[in-house]
Amino acid sequence: MAVVGFDIGFQNNYIAVAKVITFCFLITNSKNTVFNFKRFHGRSFDDIIVQSERANVPYDLVPVNDGRVGAKVMYLDKEHQFSIEQLTAMLLTKLKDTAEANIQKKVVDCVISVPTFFTDAERRRVLDAVQIAGLNCLRLMNDTTAVALSYGIYKEDLPSPDEKPKIVILVDMGHSAFQVSACAFKKGKLKVLATAFDTHFGGRDFDQRLVEYFCTEFNAKYKLDVKSRVRALLRLQQECEKLKKLMSSSSMDIPLNIECLIDEKDVSGKMNRSHFEELCADLIERVTVPLVTVMEQAELQVQNVSAVEIVGGGTRIPAVRAKIAKFFGKDVSSTLNADEAVARGCALQCAMLSPAFKVREFSITDVTPFPISLSWSTEGDECHEVFGKNHAIPFSKIITFYRKNPFILEVSYSDPSSLPYPESKIGKYHTQLLFLAVVRIFSQEMYTLFISSKWDSPPTQVNLQF
């Protein structure tokens, strides 16, 4: 019996496997084969995010199933159209096979990470993919919460229950997104105080600056229009990413040479760290925005922060680290493995949820970054916010209705304009003829209503319809 954590990144996927008895970890990485579709879950083909990403993917996006976005890809030597859920399922299957081949055991139970800003609809699409892949996802875990668990579980010096909590800021800059959370740690416990994010900001934006620079330079120097050739542009992007990584460990001039970029023409250029930082000055400034937000929302001052832990490949850029350190007025720490922390946190969570494992207890309280409202109709619409911004999750609330006639209950995000997603509805429930309904909203990654017709009868669980 093995339990597994999957971190499906925009660029890299990590699998962490926890094994019984020894509880050792095995981590594997795999690059996406068909990649960059992580941000398309449940979106329509016309969605602006989809359309703006179209140029960045090396395959064709097509409308499938009622106008949802899908992709045209070669599979078993034939061209096929797949929905994003199918692609995700194929990826999960590949990760599962990799894990099974490594540990010689069957993998079914898993925990999968998702960005903290994924809405209910996106999370459901991920769960659809899990089902197609034949896996059993015990929980979806927020990226930075997984990092927080990896951070806290083996720390021996956490405050006891009656002491002040240790405040730690967790920062994850990946290829496509930037996420920050403020957490309060005590022995055996972590509470997320607030999360903040820049949903379209990550390592690739820094690559893109280099691409723009060299496109202009090659145009002037060789009269080559790299942007007009898809393959040439992709090669330049890859070389620029390599260059960016090299600049993280060297401040000297680094050459960029590409043979036969366009029409047999070889090109060359160079770049160094200080010049790169000039080109990316505004991106480096942008790093502080979510840091300010998370501190405001958690009602913290920098002097309250005991540690700033950074993960994700993007935090290897020296200027990004320096900016974070400057903001908090202290050195950032990277005690966790920057690449594996998310997958490891997921595997730990999976082990905790699995009866086959004995892991030390660690309680996690997360937050919802988007306020959630409940509305109901019969005699005029009424709407109430049930979970405000950064409300603790899981949490249940009891709301009582006195109604003679059937009515409709709707759960939705309160502020559609703050969502990084076009759908604000979460669920809808048509109540039967009830004289009295007690509704308990227990919110985790799924929204469930508990309805009963009498005060003292146990509420029945009702799954929300779409």
Ligand X SMILES: *[C@@H]1O[C@H](CO)[C@@H](O)[C@H](O)[C@H]1NC(C)=O
Which parts of this chain interact with Mg ion (CB under 5 A)? 9, 174
Applying CB under 6 A, does 203 fall inside the site for ligand ATP?
A: yes
Question: Which does residue 131 touch among Mg ion, ligand X, ligand ATP, none (CB within 5 to 8 A, set by kind)?
Answer: none
Of the residues 53, 198, 217, 241, which one makes contact with ligand ATP according to CB under 6 A: 241
Q: Which residue is nearest to Mg ion (CB)?
A: 174
Minimum distance between the CB of residue 339 and ligand ATP, rounded to whole angstroms? Answer: 6
Q: Is 176 exposed, middle or buried (0-12, 13-18, 19+ CB in 10 A)?
A: buried
> Cβ(131)–Cβ(123) under 8 Å?
no
Which of 312, 345 has the CB closer to ligand ATP?
312
Residue 79 pairs in a beta bridge with 74
Nearer to ligand ATP, 279 or 392 (CB): 279
Rule CB under 6 A: which residues touch ligand X?
116, 139, 141-142, 145, 164, 251-253, 272, 274-275, 301, 303-304, 366, 368-369, 393, 443-445
Site string for ligand ATP, 4-33 (x = CB under 6 A): -----xxxx---------------------
Q: Which stretch in 58-66, 88-96, 242-250, 253-261 sits in contact with ligand ATP by CB under 6 A? A: 242-250
Nearest to 429 by CA among 412, 449, 402: 449
- Residue whose token pair is 């003829």: 433
Total length of the chain = 466
- The residues, any chain, with a CB within 8 Å of residue 296's CB and separated by 6 or more, are none
316 binds ligand ATP (CB under 6 A): yes
At 24, list the tokens: 């050792």
Amino acid (1-letter code) at residue 148: A
Q: Which residues contact 379 (CB under 8 A, 6 or more apart)?
A: none
Query: Which residue number has the CB closest to ligand X?
Result: 366
Q: Minimal CA–CA distance to 37: which of 97, 98, 126?
A: 126
Helix (H) or strand (E) holding 145: helix 143-153
> Which residues, other chains included, contact 29 with Cβ-Cβ below 8 Å and sequence gap of 6+?
12, 13, 14, 15, 339
| 351, 147 contact by CB (below 8 A) | no
| 313 part of the interface to ligand ATP, by CB under 6 A | yes
Neighbours of 244 (CB within 10 A): 23
**Nearest residue (CB) to ligand ATP, 113 versus 349:** 113
Q: What is the DSSP letter of 76?
A: T
User: Given the complex with ligand X, which of 70 and 115 has the nearer CB atom?
Assistant: 115
Residue whose CB is less far from ligand X, 142 or 424: 142
Torsion of CA 397, 398, 400, 405, to 10 degrees: 80
**Interaction pattern, residues 155-174, with ligand ATP; x per rule: CB under 6 A:** -------------------x
As measured in angstroms, the least distance from the Cβ of 344 to Mg ion is 13
For residue 183, what are its two tokens? 């957490």
Total interface residues for ligand ATP by CB under 6 A:
22
Closer of 206 and 357 to ligand ATP (Cβ): 206
Select 123 or 175, whichever has its Cβ closest to ligand X.
123
266, 239 Cβ separation under 8 angstroms: no
> Which one of residues 96, 125, 175, 391 is an interface residue with ligand ATP (CB under 6 A)?
175
The residues binding ligand ATP (CB under 6 A) are 9-12, 38, 174-177, 202-204, 241, 244-245, 248, 312-314, 316-317, 339
